Structure 1
Amino acid sequence: GAKNAMIHFYIATSELHRQFVIGGTEDEQIEIARDATQQIKDGVSDFPDKVRLEFSPEEFTDSDLDYVVKVCDTVVETWGPEGDEKVVLNLPATVERRFPNEYADMIEEFMKRQKFSDQTIVSLHAHNDMGMGIASTMLSLKAGAQRVEGTLFGHGERTGNVDLIICALDLDYLGIDTGLSFDNLPQIANLVEEVTDIKIHPRHPYSGELVFTAFSGSHQDAINKGYNQKEELAEHFKGWKIPYLHIDPLSLGRSFEKFIRINSQSGKGGIAYILSQEFHINLPRWAQVDFASKVQVFADEVQRELAAEELFTLFKKAYMQDDAPILLQNYWPVPSQEDPAIILGRVKVEYKGEDHELNAEGNGPISAFVHAIKQLEGVDDFVLEDFSEGTRGKTADAEAVSFVRLKHTDGKHSFIGAGIGSNIDQAAVRAVCNALNALLKF
């Protein structure tokens, strides 16, 4: 019932197999190949649907090339392809015994010597005994081969066959359209694992869990910077170009959430990347440096990789101490009627268990708040050293997020606070309170 069947037969052509396994002379083997081809041809002559032929000189890379050409020419001549029909000549590295350049040289030389090049398709079939199956295949394609046989994820006998997914994606990387899409590669990998009951190695190219993952601090920093400039980089390099990511992981159905893993070796760039991608919080550089040291200490204590949620919990614990001794209840900043450039601030806070209502003015909402809060007893030993603001999204109603760094008047210690609010003013004053709480607990 097959609409387009292919019959594949093979004969081992190496001296090892011919003399010590099968037995017989070269001429006897050629006759066996001729007879087998004729039997197949006779057997399919009455089939209504198209049947194609594939022949493999097994142990091609361990065989005499002139002899292999004779065997293959005999098969093609006996089959007698008509019209645009082509016989597939599959030239296998049955056991990998040669380096990739030698396999490619043999493929190129075979194609020069065979009689029926217009009526054949030269196919590759590399094994991976020496760990060079992919290199052998790619180099032999450059030598002129037209077809590749292999397996998914390199399954196969002994060390396996060449991985067709790696081959296809390597070609895609080189700009060669294979007509294949791998935007669901994780699902393909899961299915093959389920069927074979063999796990894919986490560092298996393209498919492994860790192949797009960086643990090194400097690598994480480079990925973070590259990702934040990916449009400019794509325009400059005329295509995908990100440090340490040779292909766009999204094209393989991979999400960015697992590309940077956080442990005690992680640097500020990777940590900032996770907070930005997962929680839409963009740390200013001076906060990145401070937070990275806290993350590294914690990761050293627990001796394992940190999940994104753990990172966010640690961030809130470090910079959002909004419980005591200062608890902000409300803040109303309004422009002065006499001079709109002056902001009048009214503050309601709980301080050391007691409610306070404070009023002050300043040249902006934060300035007015700082002047007001300094009226509390024991809350005047600081200056506002740094301030940063942003949003947790690109919509009009996105939450505001602010960071402040307060310096103690002793000049030796600084304290960072973060605040999230419905607008930038509310986020900023919460950040000031949280930094003050850290200072007052010092």
Structure 2
Amino acid sequence: MKPASLRKYRPFHEKFDIRLPDRQWPDRHIERAPIWCSVDLRDGNQALAIPMNVEEKLEYFQLLCDIGFKQIEIGFPSASDTEFRFFRRLVDEKLIPADVTVQCLVQAREHLIQRTFEALEGVPRSIVHLYNSTSPLQRKVTFGNASKEKIKAIAVDGAKLVRKLADQVTDGEILFQYSPESFSDTELDYAYDICKSVTEIWGPTKESPIILNLPATVEWATPNIHADMIEWCCRQLKKDGLRDKVQVSLHTHNDRGTGTAATELAILAGADRVEGTLFGNGERTGNLDLVNVALNLNSHGIATGLDFSNLDEIRMTYQRLTRMAVHERHPYAGELVFTAFSGSHQDAIKKGMDLIDSDSVEWAVPYLTIDPQDIGRNYEAIIRINSQSGKGGVAYVLDREHGLDLPKSMHPEVGGIVSRQADELGRELTIEEIRESFFNEFVNRNAPLSLLDHDECHVENANAEGILVHQRAKRGNEYGWTFSLSHAGEKSVVEGYGNGPINALAHALEKRGLKDFKVTDYRSHAITDGSAADAAAYVQIVREGDNRSVWGCGLDPSIELAGLKALVSAYNRLHH
């Protein structure tokens, strides 16, 4: 923004003096997952341009249950008939699993609380989530300069009515939750005073604790200040003998883009519970992304009770029901988050993946914090090729997608050719385009030289008894082969000798006057398992005189013929 605009803003710490010089959270580590509560069906739904209808919300509720959420805020039943009908549909059709507690939000207003308890009839176990705004800004703007005493009285009166109506319920268990909405910009001592007053009315015990939800309704401050606020409240609860009777809950928004960090630091500060939504859907810049935090914990080996092993399917269901998009760079779920275009990244990833495949148990691949397969992603998109890609990336794709394990010294030559094609096209290459580029340049090339046929040479020699027998032609330690060749349209049959067919073909080419090279490397492998598997062979030759080196590749069901084709391909590339 322009410098003149800065006069409208001042640091958050100047508004509220939060002092916690002996804070403990920086020295702690997250060792277990919090209690999770999804608010997709309430907070997330109200943020949609087109809110979900009842049928869509039913499907979304089932999705949340399948993921493993045990607490789900299913709506605001006093807000509208649609919300009320959805709530009752879940109850009347017995769609709430026995191990799932549903939560309903309600403002601290008498008629809304009454309507909420009507919706709760017959619910086996539920959380009534009471809230009212408490911040100075809300007191001034929303409530017309209402006093602190008046705002506190709203919370206290609401808590008393909830307690009274809960005592009258005989067909279900009612749990209590209170949120001082806009806690993030409320004076700490005042917010705590209200929370303590509500807590005393509800009378929690160790066996039946209440939930104090301390929402960062608007993310005003940096994550460390948020953590200080949570630790301060946890200390006050302990001082007042209430800490083991209260679950401290978080509800972070993402106005500064640091909702995940604020949540993780606040867990270190003592929070027991976390509210949020899938992929962070919510008002403004969104709520806390539960997928992000849960998979962050998984990446440190911490069990969460949530199952995101089919994250692609979850993402597609979410997008269909909410009509929202998940960004390509969204952590874990985005289309491109496991994708590398950079050549140096691709090379490091390929090396890491090779080691993981061979002998590693612990996940340790450069640039990849988790194994994509653990969340239902495949390896297809890890490396994608454009003009920025390098030798390792192209080799990785050819290996993973087409079973071609190129010799390392062949990588620069192949990578350079494929990258130049991407540069010429000005875009990313598809997997099939990479394959086509490699095949066109390196595989089974047959001009100007082509191998029409080959066979072992045999001769008839007399054995010890003087009987003629058919034997392999041999010269010293070298065996003979016959090659039917065509060079620039001229056909010939030439014999060659060598310790193998490749050397023998090189000898035959020398006899034809075509050998101006030496073979410097040869590799081969089976592409697939089984007797009918294709084989791949790679031959490197260096031209005598200018020392130019080239590789060729041969593919054939016969590994012997694959090697010969590789030599021919290399020759043709050298003389192209």
Q: TM class, shorter-chain normalised?
A: over 0.9
Q: Tell me if structure 1 keeps the 8 A contact 2:474–2:480.
A: no
What do the CA deviations read for 1:241-281 (whole angstroms, capped 9, x no partner)? 11111111111111111111101111101111111101111
> Which residue is equivalent to 1:362?
498
TM superposition shift of 1:71: 1.1
Q: Which residue in 1 is equivalent to 2:527?
A: 392
Alignment of 1:351-430 (within 5 A): 351-376=487-512, 378-395=513-530, 397-430=532-565
Match of 1:244 among 367, 372, 375: 367
Deviations 1:305-341 (A, max 9, x none): 0111111111111112533233323222478366794
Distance 1:208 1:65, change over 3 A: same
Q: Which segment is superposed worse, 43-52 or 331-340?
A: 331-340
TM alignment of 1:70-149, pairs within 5 A: 70-81=193-204, 84-114=207-237, 115=240, 116-149=242-275
Equivalent residue for 2:102? Answer: none
TM-score (norm 2): 0.72
2:478 corresponds, among 328, 342, 350, to: 342
Partner of residue 112, structure 2: none
> Where does residue 3 of structure 2 map in the other structure?
none
Distance (Å, rounded) in 1 between the aligned partners of 2:158 and 2:164: 10
Kindly state the Cα deviation for residue 234 of structure 1 after the two structures are TM-superposed: 4.1
Task: Give SS of 1:24's match.
Answer: coil
Alpha-carbon shift at residue 231 of structure 1 (Å): 5.5
The aligned runs of 1:279-358 (5 Å cut-off) are 279-333=402-456, 336=472, 341-358=477-494
Deviation at 1:233, TM superposition (A): 7.6
SS of the counterpart of 2:380?
A: helix
The answer to whether residue 145 in structure 2 is matched with residue 19 in structure 1 is: no
Question: CA contact under 8 A between 1:322 and 1:433: conserved in structure 2?
Answer: yes
Check conservation: 1:341, 1:364, Cα contact below 8 A.
Answer: no
1:321 touches 1:438 (CA, 8 Å); kept in 2?
Answer: no
Distance 2:473 2:489 in 1: 34
Does the CA contact (< 8 Å) of 2:177 and 2:211 recur in 1?
Answer: yes
What is the Cα deviation at residue 342 of structure 1?
2.8
* Structure with higher RCO (Cα < 8 A, 6+ apart): 2
Q: Distance in 1 between matches of 2:140 and 2:415?
A: 67
Which amino acid is the alignment partner of residue 55 of structure 1?
Y
In the TM superposition, what whole-angstrom CA distance separates every residue of 1:285-322 from its partner, at most 9, and x where no partner exists?
23211111211221111000011111111111111253
Which amino acid in structure 1 is aligned with residue 538 of structure 2?
F
**CA shift at 1:357, angstroms?**
2.7
Residue 413 of structure 1 and its aligned partner are, at CA, apart by: 2.8
Partner of 2:152: 30
Contact 1:233 1:240 in 2 (8 A): no
Shift of 1:354: 4.7
Q: How far apart, CA to CA, are the structure 1 residues paired with 2:415 and 2:251?
A: 49
Question: Following the alignment from structure 1 to structure 2, what is the Cα–Cα distance between the partners of residues 73 and 395?
Answer: 72
**How far off its partner does 1:158 sit?**
0.7
The 3-state SS of whatever aligns with 2:328 is coil
Residue in 2 that maps onto 1:223 = 349
Q: Percent identity?
A: 39
Deviations 1:357-389 (A, max 9, x none): 32222122211122223333x522222232222
> How many Å separate the matches in 1 of 2:400 and 2:236?
57
Contact 1:220 1:260 in 2 (8 A): yes
Segments of structure 1 that go 5 or more residues without pairing to the other structure are none
> Does the 8 A contact of 1:233 with 1:241 survive in 2?
no
Which residue is 2:301 aligned to? 175
- Which deviates more from structure 2 when the two are superposed, residues 20-29 or residues 288-297? 20-29
Letter in 1 for 2:385: I
TM-score, normalised via structure 1 length: 0.93
Partners of 1:143 and 1:119 in 2: how far apart?
17
Q: CA RMSD in A?
A: 2.1
CA distance in 2, matches of 1:431, 1:231: 27
In the alignment, the residues of structure 2 paired with residue 379 and residue 339 of structure 1 have an alpha-carbon distance, to the nearest angstrom, of 22
Query: What is the match of residue 190 of structure 1?
Result: 316
SS of residue paired to 1:258: coil
The letter of the residue matching 2:150 is E
Deviations 1:381-418 (A, max 9, x none): 22223222222135555322111122233334333211
Paired with 1:319 and 1:234, the residues of 2 have a C-alpha distance of: 33
1:31-51 Cα distance to aligned partner (Å, 9 max, x none):
322221121222232241112
Instruction: Indicate if the aligned counterparts of 2:456 and 2:472 stay in contact, CA closer than 8 A.
Output: no
